[in-house]
Chains A and B, each alone.
Chain A
Amino acid sequence: MVTAFLTDTTLCIGCKACEVACKEWNQVPSDGCTFTGFSYDNTAGLGHSTWRHVKFVERMFDGASAEPAGLSRASGSEPRGYRSNAFRWDFSSDVCKHCEHAGCLEACPTGSIVRTEFGGVYIQPDVCNGCGYCVVTCPFGVVDRRPDDGRAFKCTFCYDRQKAGLQPACATACPTESIVFGEIDELRVRAYARIEELRARGIEDAVVYDPQDTSVGGTHAIFVLRGRPEEYNLPSKPEVPTVHLRDGWTGAAVGAGLILFGTLAAFIGTSLTNPGTNPGNSSRALRASRER
């Protein structure tokens, strides 16, 4: 079965149970105790030792904002659907997207990164040599190398649990069904049905994040968001770096061809216009020009 996560931010309460369950199950070490000052987010982002990360987005809608009527400006009217407050605090649990066309997998020179039978992208830690190509080729900035170890780490899609017929630890721990795990096509249907439902309730900015029309070709981590993906630190048009390969190689080939052509042309041109030139004269002329 090809599986996926559906993470619905409108149901997330920011409890971080997914972060902790992930670390507990996968025995991921601590990131260190650093106070960021950025809302309640002290893990800051996905990394070598944070494979699920809950973002805390504080947003104030004031003045002439076209956002939903704020309570401070309300006038006894009926509530207009949840999160209609002038202040909004959105939580979103981020994770490796397990792209259909995964930059990391394509870049991996050792064959450490593989596609599993569940559709996930899995780094085999015993094969990884820590070259770091996957780090720079991930369009979402997910893959990261552990400094004390050198190897790259990220969400395993709980491959071991899926093999055993269980769902990933994060989805199991989520108390509000904000993270749902299941068959990918069913979840896609569910995601679009969900935004229809939300929009019917007046939450106009609900969107599905599932970049199928870019070179990533869709992901195994689908999101229901409110507003622009960038507000959740998600690129609206993620691209796999390897899509630039053909352009790159073509450019290189054209460049190489031009250089070759230029070189040949120079020789041919010289021999045509000045057949009796002594190379020694030419050296002298160059030296003379430098001295000037």
Chain B
Amino acid sequence: MPGLGTSFGRGGATTAQQDLVNADAILIMGSSMAENHPVGFRWVIKARERGATIIHVDPRFSRTSAMADLWVPLRAGSDIVFLGALVNYVLTNDLAFRDYIVPFTNAATIISEDFRDTEDLDGLFSGWDAENKQYSTESWAYEGSKPKASGESAEHDRGGHAKERGGSSMEMPETPPSDPTLQHPRSVYQILTRHFARYTPAMVEDVCGVQRDTFLQVADAYCRASGPDKTGTICYALGWTQHSTGVQTIRTAAILQLLLGNIGRPGGGILALRGHASIQGSTDIPTLYDVLPGYLAMPKHGADAGSLHSYIDKHRLPRGWWAHYDRYIVSLLKAWYGDAAQPHNDFGFGWMPRITGDHSHFGYWLDMADARTVEGLFVMGQNPAVGGANAGLERRALGNLKWLVVRDMVETETATFWLDSPEVARGELPPETVGTEVFFFPAAGQAEKEGCFTNTQRLLQWHQKAVDPPGDARSEAWFVYHLGRRLKERAARDTSPRNAGLRALTWDYGTSGPHHEPDVEQVLQEINGRSLADRSQLPGFHALANDGSTACGCWIYSGVYPSPGRNRANERDPHGPYGHGWGFSWPADRRILYNRASARPDGRPWSERKKLVWWDETMREWTGLDTPDFGRTKAPDYVPPPGSTGDEGLRGDAPFIMHPDGMGWIWVPDGLKDGPLPAHYEPLESPVANAVYRQQTNPAADPKRRSDNPYADSPGDPRYPCVLTTYRLTEHHTAGGMTRTLSHLAELQPESFCEISPELATTIDVRNGDQVELTTPRGSIVTRALVTGRIRPLVVQGKTIHQVGLPWHWGYRGLTTGPVANDLVAISEEPNVKIMEAKALVCRIDRWSPRS
């Protein structure tokens, strides 16, 4: 989510699904929302019934396209060109919402004269370090910025999930120089205009395979639905993220939305559709290696981990809500280490683990594959033998472990990789040679345990237990709690210094029932935070202190449990158009983020039709239909006195209160690893050369090229002429453990298949339902061909490009089995979030006939 985090300040969808009804246009791209979010799609249907234009841009005609006004097929991996051309269309036709962008975004801000654009460097931005394959971002800073004084080493630590807030290594001036006329040649607006000038409709035709007229139709429809009394929303999902340029794709959408004035307003925004239940929750209270709860940075050895003081110094920003970084981290340390966390020991900061390398999924998995340091692995709520990129490599790596723990509702492919995987079937992995000891723990289903989900729109919703789990099945909370309890018991006996943190860890949740289930409401209370003096629950994050008098497990969730017995995630009394009273939307139950922008700089709504939050002059406070995402009594004409910090340091017309300048960032001066602006690079495997710049692929992406993770030659490997893209179907859930094992779901999509156009089918002499073999440098699979007009060949750079669509749910267990689609996908790392490129690769397709 750094794409949204750096643009707006928070790594979460800026809007709520219910708000889609207020949109005048909805652009769905990089998502098949009707298929993968059918319940949320009801709001798209409602918007359409009210007259909104629904546009679906996607390589294939899906169930979402069927419901849209416009379907635009494009080549997988060319999204930035399409979106960049929309940005260019806005700029060249002077359609930007000037009254919005001048006060609310950094469009007018002037950039350092050291900056050189991709225009000047043929696809690279200034600051590229070819040796270390990374950017140094000093030249991207606002004019007048100074390097931050820090006692730590010079090693840069940009990007990554924790930089969702767009923290800066450069200290920006208190009032960055700007030109409200947008004429200054180094103003963001002018740089943007020059940067996107080559993203023309002709370029769209040439790179995306989208006809010029069609593109213009989309541009016209979307731009026309934006302005003071109109708004448009953009919805995306993994079709944007799983690319080597995923974060910058989302950035392009953010730029478009800021230019059109569509952020913080009803029916506007960017809706990040999360892959499954509580994925938003799992970045808020992260399962990621580089983030602490609430998007605080995980300390990195040698960079910021020397002392709490230097760590805070590095991450605290002078103005905006990140000025209180010390309160958030100290309160977190107090929640974790309790009384043992004291000022004299840096509140236990030294006990916290450090990042010493690439501990991402692929980082440690490749370590496993090389049998280096990883001995054991817990797999919970995941099935990497099916869902992991280059799944064959991932399965073989499991055989190098000493032990493997799998917790799931069914015995997944990951748990039986040693028994019935394709490697075993091919004789590459004889079970008797696998030394891994596999422990399978049956897990309770969601109706068999209570707890909390945080969904796509940052909404925390509590769910009750309906029935007891059967047999030995237990909840995750039970497993983790008792594992921690036992580890602490061991640590108590072993007094070595490395166990000091474990010994200090507070682990005092109450338990109940015959199985000693931990009380998960107590966990939510700890997350909410409490005052340590009187053990009272905190009303919200504004009450946090930096002196160790408060404890809070995740500052952005503070307020979810504000008083004893009041679990706001469990409240079910919705009222008003945004459903306040049903669940709790972080932060502070704000349903539309940055909603100060729904009012003019002077505090009046932009229009009656699009009013959301406004300044009440008589009451001298912000009011409206949503909880204001702004200081409640900060007047629109407030100008901070020189030297003021925190929220007081931001003006009364600065809606993006997490950013140190209070602006929406069209330009990201720091916080991303691959550029202050998006640039189109071809996927790591592409049938064509990059027509936009000489630089073929994202220079900062890491392909993890190795003998067991090989790539096709790019561009245009004749062995792999087709584009391959993977996706999910409504009928199955991710790696299939929860659906391929249920007859009522398995029968709806009973076999693995790929979707190809009638033209491609003719070329390879395949009829509907025939078996085909799909091959990439990583492997090959045999699957059915579903021949359909829903997939169309595209003409790109004069070449006919065939695309193959491949749902990836199948594996070798369950009621329906099939080849593992992810055997075809390479392990690669997008520079900011280290995600693989599963949505655009190349393949070969042949008719398959069984060999005798």
Binding site for B on A (CB under 8 A): 11, 13-17, 19-20, 23-24, 29-35, 37, 39-40, 42-43, 58, 60, 71-72, 74-79, 81-85, 87-91, 175-177
Contacts and interface: CB of A to CB of B under 8 A. Distances in A.
A71 B73 CA distance: 10
Nearest to B49: A11
A197 B745 CA distance: 35
A79 B816 contact: no
Contact of B747 (A13, A43, A77, A82): A43
A30 to B, nearest CB: 4
Which of the listed residues B39, B69, B746 has the most CB atoms from chain A within 10 Å of its own CB? B69
B784 interface: yes
A77 B35 CA distance: 28
Given A14-B63, A37-B768, A79 B41 contact: no
B217 A85 contact: no
Contact of A75 (B39, B213, B788): B213
A13 B45 contact: yes
Given A83-B66, A175-B42, A74 B217 contact: yes
Contact of A30 (B69, B743, B788): B743
Contact of B63 (A15, A75, A81): A15
Given A37-B768, A89-B61, A176-B45, A76 B217 contact: yes
A20 B730 CA distance: 12
Contact of A177 (B42, B729, B769): B42
Contacts of B54: 82
A16 B34 CA distance: 12
Given A37-B769, A76-B216, A175-B41, 4 more contacts: A13-B38, A23-B744, A35-B751, A78-B221
**Interface-centre pick from B61, B72, B747 (highest chain A CB count, 10 A):** B747
Contact of B744 (A24, A34, A79): A24
A79 B221 contact: yes
Contact of B71 (A37, A71, A91): A71
Nearest to B41: A13
Contact of A37 (B67, B786, B816): B786
A20 B748 CA distance: 9
Contact of B66 (A14, A74, A78, A79): A14
Contact of B220 (A16, A76, A176): A76
A34 B815 CA distance: 11
Contacts of B262: none
Interface in B151-201: none
A17 B753 contact: no
A72 B795 CA distance: 13
B837 to A, nearest CB: 26
Contact of A17 (B35, B38, B749, B816): B38
Interface string B205-249: 000000101101100110000000000000000000000000000
A42 B45 contact: no
Interface in B784-820: 784, 786, 788-790, 815-816
A20 B769 contact: no
A77 B729 CA distance: 33
30 contacts: A11-B45, A13-B45, A14-B34, A14-B63, A14-B66, A16-B730, A16-B731, A19-B748, A33-B743, A33-B746, A33-B815, A33-B816, A35-B750, A35-B769, A40-B63, A40-B731, A60-B789, A71-B71, A71-B214, A78-B221, A79-B70, A82-B54, A83-B69, A84-B69, A85-B68, A88-B66, A89-B66, A176-B38, A176-B45, A177-B42
B667 to A, nearest CB: 31
Given A14-B730, A35-B753, A82 B744 contact: no
Interface residues of B, number: 49
Contacts of B211: 72
Contacts, number: 132
A39 B729 CA distance: 13
Interface string B40-57: 011001001000011000
A175 B38 contact: yes
Contacts of B750: 33-35, 42
B65 interface: yes
Contacts of A175: 38-39, 41-42
Contacts of A20: 744-745, 748
A200 to B, nearest CB: 11
A32 B38 CA distance: 25
Contacts of B67: 13, 82-83
Nearest to A54: B748
Contacts of B768: 37
A79 B769 contact: no
Interface in B61-105: 61, 63, 65-72
Contacts of B39: 175
Contact of A35 (B221, B729, B731, B784): B784
Given A14-B66, A58-B790, A177-B42, A74 B214 contact: yes
A89 B61 CA distance: 9
Contacts of B743: 29-30, 33
B125 to A, nearest CB: 34
Nearest to B40: A175
Contacts of B790: 58, 87, 89
Contacts of B42: 175-177
Given A15-B730, A32-B747, A91 B217 contact: no
A226 to B, nearest CB: 12
A158 to B, nearest CB: 17
A23 B747 CA distance: 12
A60, A71, A83 — most chain B CB neighbours (10 Å): A71
B63 A89 contact: yes
- 8 closest Cβ contacts across the A-B interface? A33-B750, A30-B743, A37-B769, A89-B66, A35-B751, A15-B38, A79-B69, A13-B34
